[in-house]
Amino acid sequence: MFDAAHIAGLIAGGAHPNPVGIADVVTFTTHKTLRGPRGGAILSTADLGPAIDKAIFPGLQGGPLEHVIAGKAVAFHEAADPSFSEYAHQIVANAQALAEALGGHGFRLVSGGTDNHLMLIDLRSFDSELTGKDAQNALDRAGITLNKNTVPDDPRSPFVTSGLRIGTPSVTTQGMGTVEMGTIADLIARVLGSPGDDAVAASVRSDVVDLCALQAVSLIRLVAQAPPDPGSVSPRPFCGVCVALCATHTPQNGSPCAGPVTGRLRSWAATSR
């Protein structure tokens, strides 16, 4: 049995070895790198299928949610598109770039680097007194979301920790690349260099907003320029800001997306730098 919960999207995109055909059972979540709704799926050899089906329903599963089933179908459709492979490989490239940049700031990568979308950093090489809990809270105030995590032989409790776990799927979906990973590492180091300084947190938060806004503008322009594809589940690339609205307000006859949130952002983008 192989659990591919975190790396399912990387496997689907060909950026990680595939356990299907080797393991008898493969389980995975449909969110995380697969970028679908919160849920999961089980793959198995044909002879184990009936037993697994009976164990899941009516044994373990409650009433299935039809909107989640539909969301999974969309996620699987997107994962089958060639562009998903580009996304999966970019996740890994971004993670490696971010890991290298963080190392340059004095953070110790527990594994020495990364081959997937995640990295675990030991804060003690940067600041021996800084805990994962305090670092997470300081970064939250600055608009950077990640979570505390224990490191091997951690002297602190799991509620405090000495490390941070960081991933790149979200920023990759927003359109960021390896250049932005260096910027993100700089922002993290600025905050954690002065974790109790509200002025630093406010300054970094402003820079985070600017960084994310630039990606939103780029994606909105992509939405406006891409020709509609009536045969696709997603007739036009999502803008990354109002995914649900862009899915609902399908552009017609090549016109720009009419989603209300996207419309406001486009008006703002037209007058921004």
Q: What is the pLDDT of residues 55-110, one digit of tens each?
A: 988 878 777 789 999 999 999 999 999 999 999 999 999 999 999 999 999 999 99
CATH 3.90.1150.10 fits domain 83-193 = yes
Q: Which pTM was predicted?
A: 0.79
User: 127-162 burial string, b = 16+ CB within 10 Å, else e?
Assistant: eeebbbbbbbebbebbbbebbbbbbeebebeeeebb
The domain ranges of the chain are: 2-80, 83-193, 216-271
pLDDT at 212 over 60: yes
Percent of the chain with pLDDT over 70: 79
Q: What is the pLDDT of residue 225?
A: 57
Q: What is the pLDDT of residue 64?
A: 79
Mention every residue, 6+ apart, whose C-beta is less than 8 A from residue 236.
Answer: 223, 226, 228, 229, 246, 250, 251, 257
CA angle 173/106/120 to nearest 5° reads 45
Average per-residue pLDDT in the chain?
Answer: 84
